[in-house]
Amino acid sequence: MQSRTFLRNEAIALLSRLAQVRPFSASMPMVWAATVSDEAMGAIEQHLTKVKVGLRAAVMEFAQSLSAAENAGEPPDVLQGRFVLLKLRFNNLLDQLDIFADVLAQRSEHGTGVWMAGLDAVAEDALQVAQGKEALPPLICFLDRGHGAAIRRARTRLPGGDLNPVAVIQVPRERMVGSGIAPSLIHEVGHQGASLLDLVETMRISIQKASQKNLPQAAAWQLYERWISEIVADCWAMGHLGVGASLGLIGVMSLPRYFVFRISTDGPHPFPWIRVKISLAYGALLFPDAQWARFEALWEQLYPRRGLSDEQQLVLSQLENTLPNLVRLIAGHRSEKLGKGPFASRFPLAARQPVQLRALAELWGETPEKYFSQAPSLAFAVAGQARADGRIAPQAESRLIAQCLEHWAKTTREPGKRSMRPPVRAFLHD
């Protein structure tokens, strides 16, 4: 068989397979309340259609150029090289399709799909404080096995180099269903928000300046600089959830002792022991209350420092000594994209003070309807405070959160309200 005939047949076969890539709107079975927003689905479909149309045009152009290329004496191996690049591009499209298909297919699971739509509403609420000149990207959530959450941020590269049209947030199954899911989810939202506001880059500059002014503690500041992306995301959750953010983090960071004190300097994550300490210190700064000392003492009881090496003790001491300055630096951070106020002012701090949350917990009790009309992050903050105060049992908390997620899914997926971004009147924002 001539190389031209072979490659033309391969190109036609690729076009046939490409034609079988159907839009999700024609293939995703799910109940109405479990669907993703029109905004998110539209962004995904528009993106995949654009890639598909571009690839189809490139394959057809290749097939039509084969005769001219052979007449011009172009070697078969060069033609094969051109075709292989097209095939790789097709595989990249399938990889992108699978990323979104995994998320959307889960929406057909009984119960789970509706919960995911409810978490979409929570995530969207938590991202609102990042609003600036640019439009906020759509967000979609899905459950997966694993200890922690993760995010594929919008406007980052997908396989093949295309920009991701939506933020895809993976939340861990082991956190469902209870108030502990919110810290994991809003932490990942914080990564998207930090990217939109350029927080990591500008805070690193501030930390570098602080390090230069405090040379004896420079090693601690260098670690904070390395970890700042994860620290900012934890602070994002704290700004929305109050003590619930620390309780959720304690749950995630409750690992074998070796890992809790394993001081790694080559990754973006603070080691668990100090990460919880940072969360508690930031919470105490934003929401002064006796509870922070109580939970810090609990953390010390669960993971005492006895038996640590002198080197570990030294690192812990340096980090703790600089911790008050670090949380003040983060809360007071200013940058061009933040606008007039500091970072902390972006969050509803007055309405999330412990005294306010306790009053709402007393008023609402365990009545789901009291939570339904609230901003989702506020509802989670109240539930988290009630959990911290021992006012709600884990079983009751689980039922309450499940009912809230189902309600938010239904109300944000009603005809005419299918945008993930509900109008302000849909929730009684604080």
Task: Pick the closest to residue 104 from 118, 117, 119, 87 (CA basis).
Answer: 117
Would you say 367 and 360 are in contact if contact means Cβ atoms under 8 Å apart? no
Q: What is the pLDDT of residue 10?
A: 87
Would you say 357 and 382 are in contact if contact means Cβ atoms under 8 Å apart? yes
Give the model confidence (pLDDT) of 150-205 as tens digits.
999 999 999 989 999 999 999 888 777 777 899 999 999 999 999 999 999 999 99
243 pLDDT tier (thresholds 50, 70, 90): very high
414 pLDDT tier (thresholds 50, 70, 90): low
**Six-digit token string for 3:** 């190389």
Q: What is the pLDDT of residue 429?
A: 35
Q: What share of residues in the chain are helix, strand, coil (percent, to 5)? A: 70, 5, 30
Beta bridge partners of 213: none
Q: What is the pLDDT of residue 424?
A: 32
Q: What is the pLDDT of residue 428?
A: 35
Taking the C-alpha atoms of residue 36 and residue 166, their distance in angstroms, rounded to an integer, is 11
Q: What is the pLDDT of residue 146?
A: 66
Taking the C-alpha atoms of residue 154 and residue 156, their distance in angstroms, rounded to an integer, is 6
369 pLDDT tier (thresholds 50, 70, 90): very high
Q: What is the pLDDT of residue 422?
A: 40
Give the model confidence (pLDDT) of 299-357 as tens digits.
999 999 999 999 999 999 999 999 999 999 999 999 999 998 999 999 999 999 999 99
* Higher local confidence (pLDDT), 27 or 397: 397
Q: What is the pLDDT of residue 264?
A: 83
Taking 90 as the threshold, does the pLDDT of residue 281 lie above it? yes
Q: What is the pLDDT of residue 425?
A: 29
Share of the chain above pLDDT 90, in %: 57
Note if the bond before 31 is cis, omega within 30 degrees.
Answer: no
- The residue-averaged pLDDT of 5-12 equals 86
CA-derived radius of gyration, the chain: 25
Q: Where are the domains of the chain?
A: 3-108, 114-346
Q: Calculate helix-pair angle for 38-71, 3-19, nearest 10 degrees.
A: 170
